[in-house]
Homo-oligomer: A and B are copies of this chain.
Amino acid sequence: MTRTDLTREADAPARRADGDIRVAVSTVIFTLRRPRGDERAAVVLPLVRRTRDPFEGQWALPGGWLDATEGLDAAASRTLAETTGLSPAYLEQLYAFGAVDRSPSRVVSIVYWALVREDETRTEPQENVDWFDAESLPDLAFDHNAIVDYALWRLRNKVGYSRIAHGLLPDVFTLAELREVYESILGRRLDPANFRRQVESSDTLIPTDDFRTGSHRPARLYRYDREVELADRGPLDIRH
């Protein structure tokens, strides 16, 4: 089921009288794309090409209308899956955008941001969906350029005090792979020795007995400790 037309923010499922306010849900979903060479991985995100006015032909964030029978989180998951086929490991509300002139009709967009592992993005290619480097986006529909900028800022901020890098990695990984995630997001090199000590002293990783072999000295594989409470969203995290 491919319903890329769900990004039509200005066309309601059922037309309403003027003066009405409609609620949309959109998601900025990031993953890391590793280039062929040894260059640093790039932060990329999927966009959906609009097939109707306004902004027909331009790229926009995946999203859709909030359904009266679903909560906001559920709407974000559903519209993201319907437009791109993705099911993110990490999903969090970003901000509510509701300027009067952000769309020809009156739309309040509840925007989420999310992370997926690169291997999860290998779904069947969707029509009108493509991936873009977060650093060099084209002109997007609505206020979506500003929204992506804000989501990038939140991502870089949060990676410093939270363990969201988890959302970009498989179950087990080496410390070098974890460090590469941080380096790609922060855009700078980190000292491998100091990085190791920091994550080890944080007690959020469990070392396994397995090693990643294939090149030089084998590296120990780690997994995240599911028992560790994140508590980076305060009382909102009480939802298990």
Residues of A with Cβ closer than 8 Å to B?
A: 19-23, 66, 68-72, 93, 95-100, 106, 108, 110, 146, 149-150, 153-154, 157, 234-236
Question: Are the CB atoms of A21 and B66 closer together than 8 Å?
Answer: yes
Question: Are the CB atoms of A236 and B69 closer together than 8 Å?
Answer: no
**Bound-complex Cα distance A236 to B99 (A):** 13
Q: A19-B68, A69-B100, A150-B235 are in contact. List 12 more A-B contacts (CB 8 A).
A: A21-B23, A21-B68, A23-B23, A23-B98, A66-B98, A68-B100, A71-B100, A108-B108, A108-B110, A149-B235, A150-B236, A154-B234
**Bound-complex Cα distance A66 to B20 (A):** 10
Task: List the B residue with the shortest CB-CB distance to A18.
Answer: B68
Residues of B within 8 A of A96 (CB): 72, 93, 96, 110
Question: Are the CB atoms of A98 and B69 closer together than 8 Å?
Answer: no
Q: Shortest distance in angstroms between A209's beta carbon and chain B's nearest beta carbon?
A: 38
Beyond A23-B23, A66-B98, A235-B149, whether A108 also contacts B72 by CB under 8 A is yes
Beyond A72-B108, A100-B71, A108-B72, whether A95 also contacts B236 by CB under 8 A is yes
Question: Are the CB atoms of A70 and B21 closer together than 8 Å?
Answer: no
Task: List the B residue with the shortest CB-CB distance to A19.
Answer: B68
**Bound-complex Cα distance A99 to B95 (A):** 16
Q: Shortest distance in angstroms between A33's beta carbon and chain B's nearest beta carbon?
A: 23
Q: Shortest distance in angstroms between A99's beta carbon and chain B's nearest beta carbon?
A: 5
**Bound-complex Cα distance A20 to B69 (A):** 10
Q: Shortest distance in angstroms between A157's beta carbon and chain B's nearest beta carbon?
A: 7
**Bound-complex Cα distance A53 to B52 (A):** 41
**Bound-complex Cα distance A12 to B149 (A):** 35
Q: Shortest distance in angstroms between A238's beta carbon and chain B's nearest beta carbon?
A: 9
**Bound-complex Cα distance A23 to B110 (A):** 11
Question: Are the CB atoms of B157 and A234 closer together than 8 Å?
Answer: yes
Residues of B within 8 A of A153 (CB): 234-235
Task: List the B residue with the shortest CB-CB distance to A232.
Answer: B157
Q: Shortest distance in angstroms between A22's beta carbon and chain B's nearest beta carbon?
A: 8
